[in-house]
Structure 1
């Protein structure tokens, strides 16, 4: 899955990981970022779904 608007470049991911003792190349950094963006999107989708479900369950109960 390709994400259009990335705030984190592979170069900054490589640098950040390197500062924490993890050495990766450009392709590995891209895979890591793809996974993290996918995880973030799934988490956001779940949160919004749960939030909407919570809001609709309160309708008419006041």
Structure 2
């Protein structure tokens, strides 16, 4: 019984960590994309298309 409880707590902890990790990854990726899009919009508003075209694409 003690082994099952330990295994269950390990799986629960790993699952919770995984959910939190992917949520943070999603949020930071979303924020990074928003900042990059804001920079692109600002450069286009200024009429400076060279800086937007010369920046390497992010994969």
* TM-score, normalization by structure 2: 0.61
> Higher helix proportion, which one?
2
For 1:37 and 1:26, the matched residues in 2 are separated by 16
Structure with the greater alpha carbon radius of gyration: 2
For 1:32 and 1:60, the matched residues in 2 are separated by 42
Q: Which has the higher contact order (CA 8 A, sep 6+)?
A: 1
Q: Which residue of 2 aligns with 1:35?
A: 16
Number of aligned residues: 39
| Structure 2 portions without partners, runs of 5+ | 44-59
